[in-house]
Every structure is written in C-alpha cells, then in structure tokens.
C-alpha cells in the first residue's frame, strides 16, 4: 500500500477526532452530524473497529453533542457498519449514553436502542441486548436504571419464555426501586410492556406491579399509572376489571393530588371504553360528575374536554339528569380556560340529545357562552356550530344565534372580529345564499372599511372564499359593484382596500367579469395621487395578467389594456411604483412569449 492512500485512509477518523476535541461546541456538533459520512469514507470494517470504539469513549462532552450522537446512532446507522448482523456493535456507545446525567440524552439513547432492537436477530437480542438491559437495570446510578425501563417492552415478545420470566422479574424490581425517578420511569413504561403479557401474566405480575406503583407516595409516579390502568383493563374482561381494579379506579379518581386527578380526567374516555358498560353506569358516571366539580380549574378543564365522548356511552336520560346540570354550572365557571374547553365540546352533545332537548337545554347555554367576556370562549362556540345546525336546523339557529354572531362581528377587539370573518365562509355554507345575503352580506362589505389593516385584509380573503362558495354570478351581483364603488371614495384607505380586494378575488372570477366590471376602475386608480395605491395597482394588474394570460382572449386583454398602463407606471416618479410595474411587465411579456 503506498503512503498516499494510507494517509487518505487515516484522514477521516483523524479529522473527526480533531473536530471532536475542538473547543468550539459548534464544531464538535458538526462533526457528530457528519459521522455517517465519515463511516462511509472509512468503510464498514474500519467504522466498526475504529469509529465505534472512539465514539464509545466520547461521552464526556456537552449535553447537546451527546444528544446529537444518540440521535445519529439511531438513524439506521447499522447500514454504515456492515448491516443488521453488526447492529449490536452500536449498543456499546448507546449504553454509555443511557447512563449520563442529562434526561434528554438518556431518553434519546433509549429511543435509538429501541430502533436498533427492531433490526436485531433473536440470537443478537439474547447475546447482546438482554445483557445490556440487565447491566443498566442493576446500574449503581439511578440514571442507568431509569433508562433501562424503556428497553423491556420492545423485545419482550421476541425472546423465549425463560427470558420473559427474567424480564418480568427485572421490571418488578425497577417498579420497587428506592429512587422515585426510577419508579416514575417504570410507571411510564409499564403500559407498553403489559400489552405484550399473556392474560395470565397480567393477572399475576402486571397487576402486582401496577398496584405497587399506583399506591406510591410520590404523586409524580401515581399520575403516570393512569395509562397503565387503561392498558391492564384492555387485557381483562369487564368482570375481571370490576374484581381486580375497582379499588384502584376509585383511588385514582379521588386522589389527594390534583395532578393525578387531572391525568384521570384527561384519559377518562379511554378508561370508560375499556371497563365495560356496567362499571360506567355504576361507578364512572359518579366520578365524572365529581371531576367536573373538582376544586382545581385544570381538572375541570380536562374533564370538560371529555364530555361528548363520555356521554356517548350513556343513555340520553342519564346525560340529561347527570351531565347537563354540570355543563350548566361550567358555563358560569370562574375560570375562562374551563369555559373555553366547554365551549369547544358542548356542541358535541347536540347529536346525542336530539332536537327538542338541544333547544331546551343547550341553546340557552350556547347563547350564554357566545356573550362570554373572553374571545376564546366565543370563538370555540362559533367554530363548532355545524354540529348544532345539523340537529336543530338553520332556521332556529339563525333566529337564536345569528344576532349574537352579528354582535361579535362588531366587537371592539379586532382579533374577535378577525376570527368571526374567518368563520363566515363556514356559516355561509350552512346558511345558504338567500339567507346569507339578507343577514350577513352587508356586514362582510363593511369590514372592508375597518380601521384595522388585518381586518381589511381578512375581509378581502373572505370575499374570495365566499365567491368560491356561492359562485361567480353571485359575486358579480353582490360583491363586485360594492368593491368597485369604494374605488371612488375620497379616503385613500378605502381606495387602497378596493385595489387589494380586486387583487385577492380576481383569480376566482371569470375573464368577462374582470374585463367588464373591474378593469376600468383599476386602470383609473393607476393615476391616483397616492404612490401606495399606484404600486398596489401594478401588483393587481400582475395578478390579473398571470391569472388570465393563459388564454388567447386573456393575452389580448393584457396587451391592449394592461401593458400600456404598466409602461406608464414604469416611468413613475416613485421608486416602489417603478419596481412593481417593471416586475409586472416582465410577467406580462413572459406570457406573450
């Protein structure tokens, strides 16, 4: 081998080593992100023999460098070291990373080990992976024991029963660890592991681990057992759930820590779906009502989000008797977050209750929430009106709720007005053309004259969407005359809005409407004394040219009407006008070519 090639062979690893020793963290980070390229340059054999051992010794670095290393090794890195049969080689550096102090690095290392487990053969799992799990599980520092909890579930169903027994025993030891952080990790990873247990092992081992963790003195451990409870309940019959888990369900729902109750409320529907109808009726409805009345606003917010989902599992009479009174109380809740969560979910009750009950019980609550002092509450109601419309019909909806919507459309907060504008196309679809013109048509045009620019901009986009909903004939009658009429307004803001509205809606119109109704006004505004209007006219003409220039009639219109005006604007005294006119001319000439 000649000296030159030998130097080339040494170079990649030498460069990497130099960069990984550099003082600048960014240089070290860049080096880590390039390790796949370096492995490729080295070839599979040298990557295994030189690069991996070097990386294994590189764990004394900044956390962000270690995080990047843990991530890179999980990105199909086995392809660079000879394929899946050598994937186990990557476990060495990742094992070291699984024991560092920084949680993010440990979690990413465990995630990468899990990815590698998917490509390991049964023999590799037994020979390399299981010993790794055991070493981490018996590590002196809690960090390695914490990381090990994530590594049991991925391989549990890939190993013989004798090793499965060892894994269950190992995980049970972690669930009883002296360190709360380890028990927390065990509670987090018990659910994925239990799903792979046989029913017998769920009853013998899974339940024991869960009960121990569920009774932990740390609420940070207990709150993570809610998902374990659901995973175990999925494996059992309703009768077994009642016999084995009823006590734990009651304890979780009434836990002294609000964080545990919050988790229970957040996962309430998932639990209700797996415990069986009898338990829902006998036990869970009472707990649900209690969670809706909880002292903590966070718990009430989480429970409010579960209302329609849980109500689907109940008879209509039970919903009316037990859930609706709570909903009524939540409408008056002191916390705006609770009311906002309720507002986004309450309409989901309408299909369950039917027309008469919705009119009697829910409609007053909708009206109350529509008048709430916080914008988010009002918006959440409006965004979900479609469900109510399908139940009670548009006539009643418009009679009762439209006045409140019109009131919001004139709200002093411009963000509320903007959000209402965004929902107008949705309302238009539901109301139909005639009803819309009568109730909301003038309102839509009035927004074009709003004193907040964002509202005027949103109003123009709204007109475009309405054109798509109702068609160009409607737009020609209802929108175009009003927009064009504003072009004569003495206030330049109105004239500017005309130009911007034309720019927004013209691509949705036909060439005939643009030529017959719009273009003349736009060309007149090209001579406006205000430069901002003139350069927006140039932008609008560019939009029209690009939208209609792909047909012979469109090209003819561009050459006869638009190009001469742009040529004049190209020599304007204002630099911005000249710039936009030149840009538009380039587009127009490109169409011609």
Distance of CA 144 to the CA centre of its chain: 32
Using DSSP, state whether 371 is helix, strand or coil: coil
Confidence (pTM): 0.71
Q: Determine which helix (DSSP H) or strand (DSSP E) holds 349, and give its type and residue range.
A: none
Task: Supply the angle between the helices 258-266 and 285-292 in degrees, to the nearest 10.
Answer: 120
For the chain, the first-to-last Cα distance in angstroms comes to 61
**Residue 7: pLDDT over 50:** no
Distance of CA 237 to the CA centre of its chain: 34
CA–CA separation, 383 vs 369, rounded Å?
13
Within a 10 A sphere around the Cβ of 446, how many other Cβ atoms?
Answer: 13
Q: Which two tokens stand for residue 588?
A: 């127009």
What pLDDT does 62 receive?
76
Q: Residue 149: how many CA atoms within 13 Å on its side-chain side?
A: 25
**Vertex 475: Cα angle to 453 and 415 (nearest 5):** 25
Using DSSP, state whether 554 is helix, strand or coil: helix
Q: Where are the alpha helices (H) located in 140-179, listed in sequence order?
A: 142-148, 153-156, 161-175
Q: 64, 29 in Cβ contact below 8 A?
A: yes
Backbone angles phi, psi at 78, to 5 degrees: -60, -25
What pLDDT does 6 receive?
43
CA–CA separation, 354 vs 349, rounded Å?
9
- Non-local CB neighbours of 547 within 8 Å, separated by 6+ positions: 506, 507, 554
Q: 146, 185 in Cβ contact below 8 A?
A: yes
Mean pLDDT, range 155-181, rounded to an integer: 85
Give the pLDDT band of residue 65 (cuts 50, 70, 90).
confident
What pLDDT does 17 receive?
67
**Residue 521: pLDDT over 60:** yes
- Dump pLDDT digits (tens) for 409-437: 777 777 777 877 877 777 777 667 777 76
**Residue 213: pLDDT over 60:** yes
Q: Which two tokens stand for residue 288?
A: 């649900």
Distance of CA 411 to the CA centre of its chain: 29
CA–CA separation, 522 vs 540, rounded Å?
8
What pLDDT does 67 receive?
87
**Residue 5: pLDDT over 50:** no
**Residue 381: pLDDT over 70:** yes
Q: Which two tokens stand for residue 285?
A: 């409805």
- Dump pLDDT digits (tens) for 69-93: 888 878 887 887 778 888 888 888 8
Within a 10 A sphere around the Cβ of 273, how many other Cβ atoms?
Answer: 16
Within a 10 A sphere around the Cβ of 539, how many other Cβ atoms?
Answer: 15
The residue assigned the tokens 């979780």 is 252
- Averaged pLDDT score across all residues of the chain: 82
- Residue 588 DSSP one-character state: H
**Residue 4: pLDDT over 60:** no
What pLDDT does 13 receive?
65
- Residue 450 DSSP one-character state: -
Q: 106, 98 in Cβ contact below 8 A?
A: yes
- Residue 506 DSSP one-character state: G
What pLDDT does 460 receive?
86
Q: Which two tokens stand for residue 210?
A: 């869960």
The lowest-confidence range among 31-40, 101-110, 353-362, 380-389 is 380-389
Within a 10 A sphere around the Cβ of 584, how many other Cβ atoms?
Answer: 28
- Dump pLDDT digits (tens) for 315-339: 888 888 888 888 888 888 888 888 8
Instruction: Report DSSP letters for 471-488, one per residue.
Output: -HHHHHHHTHHHHHHHTT
CA–CA separation, 277 vs 471, rounded Å?
49
CA–CA separation, 292 vs 6, rounded Å?
73
- Non-local CB neighbours of 227 within 8 Å, separated by 6+ positions: 191, 267
Q: 192, 206 in Cβ contact below 8 A?
A: no
What pLDDT does 593 receive?
63
What pLDDT does 394 receive?
67
CA–CA separation, 165 vs 81, rounded Å?
33
The residue assigned the tokens 């204002």 is 574
Backbone angles phi, psi at 574, to 5 degrees: -90, 130
Ramachandran sector of residue 82 (left: φ over 0; alpha: ψ -120 to 50; beta: rest): left
**Vertex 336: Cα angle to 331 and 338 (nearest 5):** 60
CA–CA separation, 372 vs 513, rounded Å?
43
Q: Which two tokens stand for residue 274?
A: 């797996």
Backbone angles phi, psi at 58, to 5 degrees: -100, 30
**Residue 455: pLDDT over 70:** yes
């Amino acid at each position: 081998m000649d000296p030159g090639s030998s130097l080339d062979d040494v170079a990649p690893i030498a460069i990497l080593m130099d960069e990984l020793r550099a003082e600048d963290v960014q240089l070290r980070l860049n080096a880590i992100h390039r390790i796949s390229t370096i492995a490729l340059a080295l070839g599979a054999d040298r990557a295994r023999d030189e690069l991996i051992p070097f990386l294994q010794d590189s764990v004394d670095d900044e956390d962000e460098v270690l995080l990047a290393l843990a991530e890179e090794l999980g990105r199909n890195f086995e392809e660079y070291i000879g394929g899946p049969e050598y994937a186990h080689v990557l476990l060495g550096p990742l094992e070291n990373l699984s024991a560092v102090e920084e949680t993010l690095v440990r979690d990413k290392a465990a995630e990468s080990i899990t990815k590698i487990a998917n490509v390991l053969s049964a023999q590799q799992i037994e020979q390399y992976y299981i010993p790794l799990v055991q070493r981490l599980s018996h590590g002196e520092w809690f960090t390695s024991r914490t990381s090990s909890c994530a590594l049991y579930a991925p391989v549990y169903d890939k190993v013989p029963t004798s090793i499965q027994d060892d894994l269950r025993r190992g995980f049970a030891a972690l669930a009883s660890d002296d360190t709360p952080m380890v028990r927390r990790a065990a509670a987090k990873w018990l659910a994925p592991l239990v799903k792979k247990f046989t029913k017998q092992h769920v009853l013998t081992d899974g339940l024991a681990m869960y009960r121990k963790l569920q009774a932990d003195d740390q609420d940070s451990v207990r709150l993570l057992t809610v998902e374990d409870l659901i995973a175990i309940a999925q494996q059992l019959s309703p009768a077994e759930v009642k016999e084995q888990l009823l006590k734990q369900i009651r304890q979780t729902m009434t836990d002294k820590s609000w964080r545990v109750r919050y988790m229970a409320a957040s996962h309430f529907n998932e639990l209700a779906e797996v415990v069986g109808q009898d338990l829902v009726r006998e036990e869970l409805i009472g707990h649900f009502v209690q969670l809706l009345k909880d002292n903590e606003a966070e718990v009430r917010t989480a429970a409010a989000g579960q209302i329609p989902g849980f109500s689907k599992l109940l008879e209509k009479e039970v919903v009316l008797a037990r859930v609706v009174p709570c909903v009524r109380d939540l409408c008056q809740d002191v916390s705006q977050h609770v009311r906002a969560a309720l507002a986004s979910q309450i309409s989901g009750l309408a299909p369950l209750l039917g027309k008469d009950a919705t009119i009697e019980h829910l409609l007053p609550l909708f009206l109350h929430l529509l008048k709430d002092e916080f914008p988010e509450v009002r918006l959440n109601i409006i965004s979900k009106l479609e469900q109510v419309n399908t139940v009670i019909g548009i006539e009643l909806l418009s009679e009762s709720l439209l006045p409140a919507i019109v009131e919001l459309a004139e709200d002093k907060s411009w963000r509320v007005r903007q959000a209402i504008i965004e929902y107008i196309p949705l309302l238009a679809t539901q109301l139909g053309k005639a009803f819309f013109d009568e109730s909301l048509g003038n309102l839509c045009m009035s927004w074009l004259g709003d004193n907040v620019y964002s509202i005027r901009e949103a109003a123009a986009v709204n007109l475009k969407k309405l054109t798509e909903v109702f068609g160009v004939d409607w737009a020609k009658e209802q929108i175009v005359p009003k927009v064009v009429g504003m072009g004569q307004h003495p206030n330049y803001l109105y004239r500017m809005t005309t130009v911007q509205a034309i720019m927004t809606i013209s691509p949705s119109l036909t060439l005939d409407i643009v030529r017959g109704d719009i273009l003349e006004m736009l060309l007149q505004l090209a001579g406006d004394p205000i430069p901002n209007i003139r350069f927006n006219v140039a932008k609008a003409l560019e939009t029209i040219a690009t939208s209609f220039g792909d047909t012979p009639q469109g090209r003819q219109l561009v050459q006869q009407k638009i190009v001469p005006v742009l040529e004049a604007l190209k020599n304007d005294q204002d630099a911005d006008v000249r710039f936009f006119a030149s840009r538009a001319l380039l587009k127009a000439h490109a169409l011609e070519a």
